[in-house]
Structure 1
């Protein structure tokens, strides 16, 4: 399907894609040059044309999901679902990668559990706080001082400013989003059979980046009763459908920090890397 892009979301994967860092990531992004010359994955738009084998969609349908090279006027769709009528295109474009990642790392969370979200003010974190609350968990969000009120507005039971307060207590699930804390520090925050989930990371240098902590999880996993995970971000059509239901019901809401024109993609990526964004930045053609 060919989709006319009305809005495209910016996520950390975009930075890795355009910089080719860490170098190990080039096995996926492309070794000598990017496999996708135009960056961008998240999108919301209008179906322009469909192939002969496409069913369920027709030109004129409003959709959101994943495309190839969405920082453009048109994209070929990979995984899309109908856009909720109560969302703008800008809101819908802020959903796919970040919200699907949050849904994946929260699988198995039960009502009454305590969940710690480190990095609660970003794209994945803003959805993780909301989804964990929907699932009935008590959520503690960790963020910088400029995002405390924002994270509280997402439904967090408690918000911790990491610049002034040390993390303590024990949680059934700890999500460390784009963090750099050592694994032993994080494991001390878990209950004896709690779950630690690493969601990306930015330390580790230019060669392997945050993959160093993922390797650490694999090494430690056989020797502890605690559950250690470092999943990849995967967008499934079934997850987009589930999120669409929650969005339509108003149980979760996309947090769009700002909308920028296509020419300002470099500025958007810089803001994202400097942790200045509350939720997501969205690009419009």
Structure 2
């Protein structure tokens, strides 16, 4: 079958039409899925975990149709949740093969039914980015994952900052924090200000015109944050420490916050977390509900055929993509 592979420790993939497809005997505990689309993540060709398999394949978002269920008995003794023909999507394990291949696999705990109101390419933009934001806000940030009508939220009065709010994780951080009833501030460049406002940000700071630390410092009590989701790292992460309210939380998906702890200016009781997103079909199912209700959506920058992988990675690594870059396989 057609596939994109990483050879050895190389960061340069290779396109092949002779990659061996998975079988029920080689993966008895996994679903076999016909891949319709996968999305790429900036920097993923430098990740060490995906080099564990002997023939590594990139692309950890999966949108496709179930071909067969696991051949092994269900570990609980019951029936498997999904059936052949089901349209599903998932974030699959970074230690396994990715999904830039015509037929892929996924474990039941990784899978959710695809939102009925979106196509394959848009569905492929969702899992990794949405789950990263979900876990940052609701697992590590301790916000309540409830999305009632405005004015009825258990998160009323909470303030959330999302840096790089127009990026893959930032897009979902803004949407989920907004739907959860918090006051959301996002940072981005000039060309994306209106876009981030449209995602639900109450205030958008153009980093080319406004210094985050200076803006917060004008009235730290009023403008400080209960949760900061930093998607940039570096100096922005260091500055973010000083933007968190007393007892608040600083969550980073870019690098460990402890490495950027300033010598002074941190409020009492601020907690920090760095994490790598984990596959979770149940959480993805909650995201699916929000998409089907029209409350959230993935953002599709561009679509390329698998054979056009070079152009896809060039678009991705160029730093100008708004949303996700997707490879289609059908």
Q: With structure 1 as the length reference, what TM-score do the two structures score?
A: 0.84
Residue in 2 that maps onto 1:44: 63
1:269 aligns with 2:288: no
Change beyond 3 A, Cα 1:216–1:142:
closer
1:66 aligns with 2:91: yes
User: Distance in 2 between the 1:184 and 1:19 partners?
Assistant: 24
Cα deviation digits, residues 75-98 of structure 1 (max 9, x gap): 011311111211111111111111
Residue in 1 that maps onto 2:26: none
- Greater relative CO, 1 or 2 (CA 8 Å, sep 6+): 1
CA contact (8 A) 2:301 2:324 kept: yes
CA contact (8 A) 2:112 2:282 kept: no
User: Going by fraction, where is helix more abundant, 1 or 2?
Assistant: 1
| Aligned partner of residue 178 in structure 1, secondary structure | coil
| 1:56 to partner: Cα distance | 2.0
| Aligned partner of residue 253 in structure 2, secondary structure | strand
| Aligned partner of residue 231 in structure 2, secondary structure | strand
User: Distance in 1 between the 2:324 and 2:269 partners?
Assistant: 35
Residue in 1 that maps onto 2:283: 239
Cα deviation digits, residues 28-50 of structure 1 (max 9, x gap): 344xx765521111011111122
Cα deviation digits, residues 127-182 of structure 1 (max 9, x gap): 11000001101111101122112111111111111011111221111111033226
| Aligned partner of residue 181 in structure 1, secondary structure | helix
User: Distance in 1 between the 2:135 and 2:273 partners?
Assistant: 11
* Match runs of 1:63-142 below 5 Å: 63-67=88-92, 68-78=97-107, 79-107=110-138, 108-109=142-143, 110-142=155-187
Residue in 2 that maps onto 1:19: 46
Q: With structure 2 as the length reference, what TM-score do the two structures score?
A: 0.73
Residue in 1 that maps onto 2:151: none
Structure 1: state its 5+ residue gaps: 21-25, 201-209
What root-mean-square deviation, in Å, do the aligned CA atoms of Structure 1 and Structure 2 show? 2.3
Change beyond 3 A, Cα 1:175–1:49:
same
Structure showing greater Rg:
2
1:189 aligns with 2:243: yes
CA contact (8 A) 1:101 1:235 kept: no
Aligned residue pairs total 261
CA contact (8 A) 2:234 2:260 kept: no
User: Distance in 2 between the 1:199 and 1:214 partners?
Assistant: 13
CA contact (8 A) 1:46 1:59 kept: yes
